[in-house]
């Protein structure tokens, strides 16, 4: 589960009152949608588990969606849970997201209601939380992104000290029907080294989403040798790219023995039924120079010995053939 969760740094709010200082520290743990696979059902952290950790939904303007989230207390004590709703945006190129209360064209949090808004979950017990998304009639077409956050042991901040909370969130990616823009470009495609002694060869891909809906490009990398013969195909794992964000992903070609110059061609398809494609290519060289150096040294020694003994070899051959 370490690949799909991220611990967020502390967030502090300082009061300007002279007699005391209020410090609010929040550790946010999210289910990152871009790494999710079908066999991932829950996230565990600090005794809490949620399932499912993300939702990809579609709706029409004015429509209503209803769904549930299962929250399980896997700890040995009762946990008090409060529910928050927040928007999220992409942070960096690694697929991280940041929670925010700021409203943008892609906001979703204000459309969400959750019941119950707070609850106590006994040890080793499960509670179902229902949520409803009421899409406004004038909702802008495209992607809207929000998170339902379950806050553990928070409570109000006192004037005499600090309050520490832990949070676990489920991400919601909602697509509103209407006129949308699906547009992606390839920012870069290359191997981490230009010269490889041995495989596997590691590729890095950066894709930018210039549209207004989240995209999940998928495709392959086709590798050919210096003679143009196809020698390998690598699947590129599809990962979500939020609007306006650049997403970095990697792929690996597992071939161990490399010899010569290789050309890798990337082909990615994206879009809901539109079948748009982005392509790119890169080259690299592979040669096991340490083994190759040993083989070359042996060949040079053999050549030297044959050259030094060429007269004796000719004489031996002459005697051998004349004896026949």
In order, the DSSP letters of 191-226 are ES-SEESBSPEEEEEEEEE-SSS-B--EEEEEEE-T
Residue tagged 């050919």 (tokens): 224
Do the bridges between strand 23-31 and strand 162-176 make them parallel or antiparallel, or are there none, so unpaired?
parallel
Q: Indicate the SS3 state at residue 12.
A: coil
- Tell me the pTM: 0.72
State how far the Cα of 242 lies from the Cα of 246, in Å rounded to an integer. Answer: 8
Q: Over its length of 324 residues, how does the chain's per-residue pLDDT go in tens digits?
A: 333 333 334 333 333 333 333 333 333 334 343 333 333 334 445 578 899 999 999 999 999 999 999 999 988 999 999 999 999 999 989 888 888 888 888 999 999 999 999 999 999 999 999 999 999 999 999 999 999 999 887 544 333 334 445 788 999 999 999 989 999 999 999 998 999 999 999 999 999 999 999 999 999 999 999 999 999 999 999 999 999 999 999 999 999 999 999 999 999 999 876 679 999 999 999 988 766 566 666 677 677 667 677 777 677 667 666 765
Say if CB 134 and CB 67 are below 8 A apart: no
Q: Indicate the SS3 state at residue 43.
A: strand
């Amino acid at each position: 589960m370490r690949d799909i969760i991220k611990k967020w740094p502390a967030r502090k709010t300082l009061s300007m009152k002279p007699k005391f200082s209020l410090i609010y520290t929040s550790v946010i743990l999210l289910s990152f949608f871009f790494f999710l696979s079908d066999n991932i059902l829950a996230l565990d952290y600090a005794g809490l588990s949620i399932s499912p950790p993300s939702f990809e939904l579609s709706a029409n303007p004015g429509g209503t969606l209803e769904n549930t989230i299962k929250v399980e207390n896997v700890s040995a004590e009762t946990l008090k849970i409060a529910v928050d709703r927040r928007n999220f945006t992409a942070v960096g190129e690694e697929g991280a997201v940041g929670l925010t209360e700021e409203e943008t064209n892609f906001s979703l949090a204000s459309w969400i209601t959750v019941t119950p808004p707070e609850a106590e979950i006994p040890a080793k017990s499960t509670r179902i939380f229902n949520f409803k998304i009421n899409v406004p009639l004038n909702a802008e077409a495209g992607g809207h992104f929000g998170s339902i956050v379950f806050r553990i042991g928070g409570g109000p901040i006192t004037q005499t000290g600090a309050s520490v909370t832990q949070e676990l969130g489920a991400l919601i990616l909602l697509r509103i029907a209407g006129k949308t823009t699906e547009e992606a470009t390839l920012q870069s495609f290359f191997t981490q080294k230009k010269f490889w002694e041995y495989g596997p060869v590691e590729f890095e891909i950066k894709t930018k989403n210039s549209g207004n809906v989240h995209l999940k490009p998928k495709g392959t990398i086709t590798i050919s040798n210096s003679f143009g013969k196809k020698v390998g195909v690598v699947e590129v794992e599809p990962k979500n790219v939020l609007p306006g964000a650049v997403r970095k992903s990697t792929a690996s070609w597992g071939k161990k023995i490399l010899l010569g110059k290789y050309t890798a061609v990337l082909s990615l398809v994206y879009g809901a039924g539109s079948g748009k494609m982005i392509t790119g290519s890169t080259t690299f060289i592979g040669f096991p120079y340490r083994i190759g150096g040993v083989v070359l040294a042996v060949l040079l020694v053999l050549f030297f010995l044959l050259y030094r003994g060429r007269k004796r070899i000719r004489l031996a051959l002459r005697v051998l053939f004349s004896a026949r």
